[in-house]
Amino acid sequence: MSQSKCLSLARSFDLCRGALLWISACGLLLALLLCTPAKALELPPVKGPPPHQVYIDVFVIDVDSIDSAEQNFTANIFYRLRWNDPGLAHSGDAPVVRPLDKVWNPGLQIINEQFLRRTFADVVKIHPDGTVVHRQRVWGTFSQPIDLREFPFDVQSFKVHFVASDFLEGELDLVQDPEIQSGIASKLSMADWKITAMKTGTMNYEPVPGEPSQPGFHLTFDAKRYTGYYISKIILPLVLIVAMSWIVFWIDPSEAGTQVSVAITTMLTLIAYRFAIGTDIPKVSYLTRLDDFILISTLLVFATLIEVVITATMAKRGHIKRARSVDLWARWLVPLGFGSVIVASFL
């Protein structure tokens, strides 16, 4: 074999070996890229020095319902956070959008939330001067202890409590934004309550008694229950049922059968009425003002039945005048007593 052919074969072998090495290196690099976890490829979070003050404004868009028995309310809430982070200042002309978890943030939580749905993306807008703005809208249920002893003539306070969960008191302040005031919509979906007052302010949160508290902010609104429904649908029909039982006082005791029939009919009507209004009365372990009134009314109707039995027995034994005298006194004493019960219960 000539020398030129040997050199040509040697060059071809070198080229093939170089090509194989290049292909192997590319394949190894591709394998490393495919096998690298996605988290390792993420950019590290950009964090500036934490600000001492975070501004917040809250707006109640709507209150769908208030469930007294479940001790919660359903609301549509919008809130905005604003703070300045010099480490995020940039030279652009427009705000830059970044994920919330990629920048410093106060770790805001709503303490009394039960089931919430967040409708906006968890992002922030970073302005050229380092001002960071985060907006969010939440809809769902919020827990709220409610004292129903004055039901249905009660006024309740409802609160949405925000907390900077990553900080302790003194490390950060959540304060009302002076640029945009918090508020509540003038028209709400709930038909049985009227908003009477609203306030906002700083309210720190103490997760465990004796432990350091965390910076917080609250929006609280007071609501008064409309009583028209309960007066027309519950109280007035009950007054008429109780008054119906007084008919026995105008029936002569000698007609005992008629008296007993009216008294028993009234009692059965009251029992049916109690079942009918069962869904309209909060199921709580203590008695409300309405519960007291219903209980006293039931006892008065039962007392009327007992009075009928007593006067009928007196008439049967020949004491007809005494029986009529008892009925005469009852015609005035029982309505007066029931009237005082109404005054004490609702006025």
pLDDT in tens, 279-331: 888 888 889 999 999 999 999 999 999 999 999 899 888 899 999 999 999 99
109 and 13 assigned to the same domain: no
- pLDDT tens for the chain, residues 1 to 347: 455 554 454 455 555 555 555 555 555 555 554 554 433 333 344 444 456 789 999 999 999 999 888 899 999 999 999 999 988 999 888 999 999 999 999 999 999 999 999 999 999 999 999 999 999 999 999 999 999 999 999 999 999 999 998 888 888 999 999 999 999 998 898 888 999 999 999 999 988 888 889 999 999 999 999 999 999 999 999 999 999 999 999 999 888 888 889 999 999 999 999 999 888 888 888 899 999 999 999 999 999 999 999 998 998 888 999 999 999 999 999 999 999 999 988 87
Q: Are 71 and 19 in the same domain?
A: no
| One domain for residues 200 and 267 | no
Distance separating the N- and C-terminal Cα atoms of the chain: 125
Asked which of 191, 226, 261 is the last residue of a domain, the reply is 226
State whether 68 and 172 are in the same domain.
Answer: yes
Residues 33 and 103 in one domain: no
Contact 291, 326 (CB under 8 A): no
Question: Is residue 209, in this structure, part of any structural domain at all?
Answer: yes
User: What is the model's pLDDT at position 257?
Assistant: 87
CATH number at residue 212: 2.70.170.10
Per the domain annotation, does 46 fall within a domain? no
Burial of residue 44, with CB atoms counted within 10 A of its CB: 0-12 exposed, 13-18 middle, 19 or more buried? exposed
Strand order in the sheet with 155-164: 108-110, 155-164, 216-225, 193-202
* Residue at a domain's end among 162, 196, 226: 226
Same domain, 187 and 281: no
Q: Does 47 reside within a domain?
A: no
- Give the model's pLDDT for residue 219: 96
94 within a domain of the structure (yes/no)? yes
DSSP labels, 104-151? ----EEETTEEEEEE-S-SEEEE-TTSEEEEEEEEEEEEE-----TTT
Q: Are strands 53-67 and 173-176 parallel, antiparallel or unpaired?
A: parallel
- Pair (210, 92) in one structural domain: yes
Where are the extended beta strands (E) located within the chain? 53-67, 72-84, 96-99, 108-110, 113-118, 123-126, 131-143, 155-164, 173-176, 183-184, 193-202, 216-225
Number of domains the chain is built from: 3
Same domain, 95 and 204: yes
Burial class (CB within 10 angstroms; exposed 0-12, middle 13-18, buried 19+) of 94: exposed
Is residue 123, in this structure, part of any structural domain at all?
A: yes
Do 192 and 306 fall into the same domain?
Answer: no
Q: Helices (H) and strands (E) in the chain — how many of each? A: 7, 12
Give the domain-ending residue among 203, 226, 249: 226
| Host domain of residue 37 | 3-41
Do 114 and 175 lie in a common domain? yes
Q: CA nearest 57: which of 173, 158, 217, 177?
A: 177
Q: Which H or E element spans position 261?
A: helix 256-276
Rounded alpha-carbon distances, angstroms, from residue 38 to 46, 70, 81, 182, 290 = 18, 44, 30, 41, 62
Residue 248 covered by a domain: yes
Residue 181's nearest CA partner among 342, 4, 59 is 59
222 and 236 fall within a common domain: no
Question: What are the tokens at 86?
Answer: 């010099």
Identify the three-state secondary structure at position 59: strand
Tell me, yes or no, whether 48 lies in a domain.
no
Q: Tell whether 196 is covered by a domain.
A: yes
pLDDT digits 0-9 by tens, 100-134: 999 999 999 999 999 999 999 999 999 999 999 99
Shared-domain flag, residues 76 and 102: yes
Q: What's 304's domain CATH number?
A: 1.20.58.390
Q: What b/e sequence results for 104-143 when a residue is b if at least 16 CB atoms lie within 10 Å of its CB, and e otherwise?
A: bbbebebbbbeeeeeeeeebbebbeebebebebebbbbbe
